[in-house]
Chain A
Amino acid sequence: MFISVLLLLQTTSPYDQLIIAHGFSRDQDGDWRNRQRHHTLFNGVYQVRTPDDQLSRILKSTVDRGSARAFGPHNPGIPLPTNFLLGRDIRYSPGIGTVDIQCVSSKVRVLVSLITSYQRVNGVAQPASPVDQSDYAMVEAVARWMLATKTAEAYSPSTHAVGNQSVNSRRASNVRIHLDAQRWSEICGYSINVNRQSACTMINRPQGAIIMPLGSPKVKVGNQWIDIEDVVISDGDRPMIPLQIINRL
């Protein structure tokens, strides 16, 4: 049993592992269900066909055409649990019955949506098991891993020379080049820590740490957040560091 779980974890993506660890398993439709908590998690990846305003237009379309909402701003600007940025554009809606994240990179749009079934108590419908902070954090981490890995898959695999050594890389243009962060850190003699639960990578340098939240459009070097061309990506479970950042060090 333990071995089969280990095998399962080894053969699933980093975001699937997070979902499984949160008590979900696949149903017949391929959706994730946590039957104890009556939760279902939908996720999907869509190719971005047009430039970077895709999500904004989708969100506007959703608002105009179908989001029957109560009074209040559609996208209230609530910070994510980690407080880090995610995607080039994002819609984040944490509620009591659902939590949705839609985020976009230059290549893909990712949707992660967790919903709960309802029950009636004293005549009033309410979530059977309200969505809570731990669910918000899990959905954020899943969205980060999905955006980072699916964007990386849309880039071309390549290699890049660091000193006299070759490092696996992914590239989408002459600017959007990302190197395997672990390998790069080893060559440079830095230690690296990948926090799977928060989907954040930290490279420890004497001159100041590099913090790379997956899917973030900014990377923190020392005390400064630096814009990158796209978002922080990950080749499977191996986060990558933008060459843009390396060149600024």
Chain B
Amino acid sequence: MARQGKARQGKARQGKARQGKLCSVLVLLFLCVALAPANLWVFVTQVDFTGNFPATNRYWYYSNPDGSPQSPPVGGGQYPSLEQNYVPGAVMTDRIVYRRGSTVTLRRRFTNKNPSSITGTLTMENARLEVPAYFDRPAQTIYLTNAAPTFVSIPGSGGTVDVTVTITGVPNYVALGWLNYGSHLFAISGAPAGLDLIQDPIGSTGTETYRLYLTDEAPVEHQTVPWTDVLEKSCNYGYGKAGPTDVSHDVTFGLYWAYDFAYNLGDPDVSAVWVNWPDPDSSDLGVTFGLRKLLNHMYDEGIQPGNCSDVSTFLLTLQSSLGISGDLQQLFRSGSDPPAPFITNKVVPIGSNGADTGLYVHIFFTMHQQFIRSSSLVHDAALAYRWDLGGQTYMNPAANWAMPGYWQTMIGNLSYGLVYRDVVSGDTEQSHPPYPFLVALPDPTVPARPTAMAGPVVFDIDGYDYYFPPG
């Protein structure tokens, strides 16, 4: 009991000491406010980027303009066009999308809380793009060209002025990173000359930061309003490239090597997981793609299962986000209904290590789907191919491989491309120790087909829509 009493007394003393300290702090705070320089009274209260592409992400797409969830979730929601707006209840974003090489234009609104008007010189400094590291690409800083100093005059007592400035020197290739810039408003009149007036609610040191995505061209098709969580991947994959040939190539390679997908060949019918064909009576086939669901799982868990329909549809989405137009095609063997199976050339399915020569195997397929560009250039991120169409070591996904050579290219008695040959009675399936699925063991007495196999039958997927999980 005595010990408890002492403890109480001790606590009381501590409480008094704390009260004393609190009073001191309050007095100091009051003095600070009373003696504060005028630069506490100018704020950046709006930032609006112009010339950028409207964008969204997997959450905003299913949100109302005020940020509340759509009910029902019909889609089509976008980020607010006014990126920063410091009024109660406003929704804001720090994601901006421009075409590569664009001039970044931004309008900033300054609000003067001082009773008297203020004039000054607005300067911008240290504009830069902080590019994140990605696999073998180290983090780097790209310095941009700051906007020229501008004279501004802001009325007092809550008066505002809008100032539009530009940042140039943005990379003329696909890129992403944090766009940073600092700014100062040096007083000329209304405050001590030379005093920096900016108090920026966005950054305490006057630095503003936005996630900037640079696409190859204006985003197209289903990504006309691109999803930034798609761009987060496509800009990393296509980083440093410009033009459809190089960008589509690198995005295909990037998807294969990103280990976001694993080909679900261990399941009996290798079903599509994220692509649905819910209504065969629909005029547009009713193809839907669970993009939000897929992104949630990828960002949350890592490697997701999928078949070539899933991988190619996601590849189409990635390419569209960067402005690369294309389509989806399915290839079947011709000559029978239903189509007969064929044996692929040696491949490593997406998700496994295409750099390991010991993992290349033949697989039985009856259909294979890819992304195509310019009507005939195949991009297949679902498989790494052991050889290219000229018979040289390749060990990468097909990109810009022209049809019909992609289907099969014969050099002498050897076949390259997707198809090794058709199936003969001596072919078997066997387990391959590393893989969780059966691989094809072609009859060794039939080393290659002496003539090219007929086909393929090409089936184009006309289009698809996103779907939101029914819940």
Give the interface of A toward B (CB within 8 A). Answer: 27-31, 38, 40, 42, 44, 46, 50, 57-58, 60-72, 74-76, 78, 93-98, 100, 113, 115-120, 122-127, 130
Contacts and interface: CB of A to CB of B under 8 A. Distances in A.
B277 A118 contact: no
Contact of A117 (B304, B429, B470): B304
Contacts of A78: 268
B351 A29 contact: no
B459 A98 contact: no
Interface string B364-375: 111111000000
Interface in B342-368: 349-353, 356, 359, 363-368
Q: Is the interface of B mostly helix, strand, loop or mixed?
A: loop
A95 B270 CA distance: 9
Contacts of A74: 269
A51 to B, nearest CB: 12
B434 A93 contact: no
Given A70-B363, A95-B266, 4 more contacts: A28-B296, A61-B280, A70-B438, A118-B302
A69 B434 contact: no
Interface string B208-250: 0000000000000000000000000000000000000000000
Contacts of A62: 271-272, 277
Contacts, number: 170
A125 B270 contact: no
B410 interface: no
Nearest to B328: A66
B469 A30 contact: yes
Interface residues of B, number: 64
Contact of A125 (B287, B349, B363): B349
B268 A29 contact: no
B302 A40 contact: no
B206 to A, nearest CB: 36
B309 A70 contact: no
B377 to A, nearest CB: 20
Contact of B277 (A44, A61, A70): A61
B305 interface: yes
Closest 3 CB pairs of A and B: A71-B364, A95-B267, A125-B351
B293 A31 contact: yes
A62 B309 CA distance: 11
B278 interface: yes
B436 A70 contact: no
